Each structure stands twice: as structure tokens, then as C-alpha cells.
Amino acid sequence: MNNFIFQNSTKVYFGKGCVKEYLSCLTKDAGIVMLAYGGGSVKRNGVYDEVMDILQSTGKTVVEFSGIMANPTYAKVMEGARIARESDADMILAVGGGSVMDCCKAVSLAARYDGDIWNDFWAQPGVIETEPLPLGVIVTAAGTGSECNGGAVITNEELRVKTGRDYPKLNPRFALLDPVYTYSVPASQMVSGGFDILSHIMETYFSGPDEDNVSDDIMEALMRGVIRDLRAAVRNPMDYTARSNLMWESTMAENRVIKMGKRCDFECHNMEHQLGAYTDCNHGCGLAVLHPVYYRHIYREGLSKFVRFAENVWGIPRGGKTDEQLALAGIDALAAFIAELGLPATLKELGAKYDDLENIANSCGISQGSYKKMTHEEIFDIFKECYE
């Protein structure tokens, strides 16, 4: 194992009824709560009413910040910061999936920071000395794992840049995870979120070190679980065991535990983020298109890990196969699983324009953790292979 320092400050409350049981005491010191959510699904599924009843019954003044989009923009962040300042909010309560949580982390910092928040923190890594506005989250969709880290992905529409940063000070103070809240998520969103979970694990797994280590062992178990639980949830969306497993697998993928001692390769995320900046495509769908093609470009440089992936995650027997044949069989199994889930297979399906691909490729960040040193030219080749 490589050296590491581990810290996670978010306190998690997990299970049926956890919002009713704990929300009032978790917000007891906040007189004014800024309630943040997305496009209104929380109102249709009853979560909004439940949360509002709890807040109002304890005498809170509630200020609403709604309309957070699937790929939150810098303009939306600044809108939220203005509302938080003008209302003198004591706390932000984010109710939703990863986009709502990401946006609200950025808002929590922007509301307390007097400088240029984009240039100082999102355009490049910085150091947060400002104390963010306290943030709590109620998770309604499994996917990003944003509930248990300080990471946030924001799109600057004017610059056509989608970027993420992870600052421990932006960790939510608490996270309430009731798997029942995910039941009303549309099947397509559940599947794309589930693939995002798998992607987060794979992008950490497919990186050094390759010697036996605890992180890789945990990740193999998690990947097998995500595959099993996604299949079960597709068969029966009300399968509590599957939905609760997916919710915790999402958190485990991004609460920093599995990243300990790993280099991490998030090149596919870098590529998908820039695709999203140009197309506003669904994040999980974009990742599903990219992963198999990207892995066929790098598997030789990480051959031993791709062999483990085939054997330990997909259960593919050696059966006389060479290492290279076994590695490719594992990637083929991943591609078949993507097709089984009904996820898209081409960038054209996501609305990407062929003439934009070179510009998108040139704007992508280069991961230092990749088994293979990527170039913008090779990323462009991957995009072309993925196009149709």
C-alpha cells in the first residue's frame, strides 16, 4: 500500500425513516434554512412535503432555492450564493441527487467568499481558508456519491468548461440516506446513476499500485455488488435490498475509502465532463459510451489488472486464454453489461457533433494516474471511435 492520510467528516444516517427520525435534531441550531432542490420531482414524490413539515414544525424559516439542473452551472451557483446571503441563511439543506449536492457545495463556499470563486477555486486547485456555510444533504438518487465527500462538478457555460474539485471543507455536515426515497427515480436515471457508481470504482481500480492491496480487494467486491444490484433493481425497482445496496455502494465509491493508496485514473471522467460542457448529456450515459473504448486503448499497459477484472469481477475462466485474451474478454463483458442495461453506445446518440470532437478532445484534462500516458490526439481518436 502507498502512504496516505484518511479523513471524512460527514456523519451518515442510513435507512428507512431516517429523515423523520433525525432531521429535526440535525437542524436544531439553524433558524433560517435554505432548502435546495432540482426540477420539482421532490414535490411530486412527496419528499418535499415531508421535509417541509419537519422544518416548519420545529419553527424554521425556510427559504427555497430550486431549479438546480442536471449539470449545475456557475451561474446557478452564484444565484444560490446570492439567495443565501440575502436571506442570511444559517444552513443549506440540499435535497436531491448528485447535481443538487454538487451545486450546493459550491454555493456554500461562494456564499461566504468575497473573491472570484471561479478563478480562485474552480479554474485551478486552491486552498480553502474561508469557512463554508454549513451544508446538510438528503439523498434521493444513488450515483455520484457526492454525499460523503467535498467534491463538486460545475459547468461554466460561458467558457464551455466542466470541472470538478474536491475540498474536504465542503463535505456535508450530515447526510441522510433513505433508500425508499430512490424508488421514484425513473428507470433510465437509476441505470445511468448505477453505471456512474461502477465508473467511479473502475477509475480507481484501474491504476497503480498493482500489487495485492486492500483497496483493490474492496473494489472487486463493490463492482460485483453493483452489477448484481443493478440487475436486481432493473427486474424490480421496489427491491429494497438492491436499492439500499446501490445507495451504500454509491457512497462507498466516493467516500475516499477505496482511493487510499491508489493513484486513481479519472480520464474517462475528464473526457465525459468536456462532452457534457458541449452537449449537456447525461453523465452516466456519457461514461457508458467511453469506458469500453478507452479500456481497449490502455489494457496492454495495465494487463495484470485487466486480467484480475475479468476473473474476479466477471468470473471469466482462464480456459486456455492468454492474458491478453482474458483482459479483452473482461472488457467485452463490461460492454455487454452496458448493452444489457440499455445504455447508449455512441456519442451520436448523446447529441455530440462530429465537427466538435477535436475541440472537445483538446479541452480535456490529462489524468496522471492512467496506465498509459494519454495525449489529446489519442483522446480525439477515442471520441471518433465512439461516435457511431
Model confidence at 178, in pLDDT bands (50, 70, 90)? very high
Rounded CA separation 254/101 (Å): 13
- Residue range 342-352: mean pLDDT, rounded: 96
- Residue that has been written with the C-alpha cell 477484472 in this structure: 309
Model confidence at 2, in pLDDT bands (50, 70, 90)? confident
Rg (CA), the chain: 21
Q: Is the pLDDT of residue 1 over 80?
A: no
Chain centroid to CA 70: how far?
12
- Residues 145 and 255: beta-carbon distance below 8 Å: yes
| Residue 258: predicted pLDDT | 97
- Residues 18 and 181: beta-carbon distance below 8 Å: no
Which residues, in sequence order, are CB contacts of 208 under 8 Å at separation 6+? 262, 263, 369, 371
Q: Is 193 exposed, middle or buried (0-12, 13-18, 19+ CB in 10 A)?
A: buried
Q: Is the pLDDT of residue 192 over 90?
A: yes
Residue 253's nearest CA partner among 264, 239, 243 is 264
| Residue 327: predicted pLDDT | 98
| Residue 170: predicted pLDDT | 97
**The total number of residues written for the chain in this structure:** 388
Residue 349's nearest CA partner among 379, 388, 382 is 388
- Residues 164 and 30: beta-carbon distance below 8 Å: no
Residue ranges of the chain assigned to CATH 3.40.50.1970: 11-182
Q: Is the pLDDT of residue 108 over 90?
A: yes
| Residue 38: predicted pLDDT | 95
| Residue 8: predicted pLDDT | 92
Residue ranges of the chain assigned to CATH 1.20.1090.10: 187-387
Query: What does 140-157 look like in DSSP terms, one character per residue?
Result: -S-SS-GGGSSEEEEEET
- Residues 195 and 286: beta-carbon distance below 8 Å: no
| Residue 40: predicted pLDDT | 81
| Residue 126: predicted pLDDT | 87
Residue 163's nearest CA partner among 201, 121, 127 is 121
| Residue 226: predicted pLDDT | 98
pLDDT in tens, 274-303: 999 999 999 999 999 999 999 999 999 999
Mean confidence (pLDDT) of the chain? 96
The stretches of 146-266 forming alpha helices (DSSP H) are 187-205, 214-235, 240-254
Rounded CA separation 33/20 (Å): 17
Fold of 187-387: Dehydroquinate synthase-like, alpha domain (1.20.1090)
Model confidence at 18, in pLDDT bands (50, 70, 90)? very high
Model confidence at 5, in pLDDT bands (50, 70, 90)? confident
- What's the distance, Cα to Cα, between the start and end of the chain in Å? 41
- Residues 130 and 109: beta-carbon distance below 8 Å: yes
Model confidence at 39, in pLDDT bands (50, 70, 90)? confident
- Residues 337 and 227: beta-carbon distance below 8 Å: yes
Rounded CA separation 336/134 (Å): 43
- Residue range 136-165: mean pLDDT, rounded: 95
Backbone phi, then psi, for 382, in 5-degree steps? -60, -45
- Residues 49 and 188: beta-carbon distance below 8 Å: no
Count CB-CB contacts under 10 A for residue 10: 19
Rounded CA separation 163/67 (Å): 20
- Residue range 205-226: mean pLDDT, rounded: 97
| Residue 276: predicted pLDDT | 93
Rounded CA separation 286/294 (Å): 12
| Residue 69: predicted pLDDT | 95
Rounded CA separation 363/160 (Å): 9
The CATH label, of 3.40.50.1970, 3.90.180.10, 3.40.640.10, 3.30.70.270, for the domain at 11-182 is 3.40.50.1970
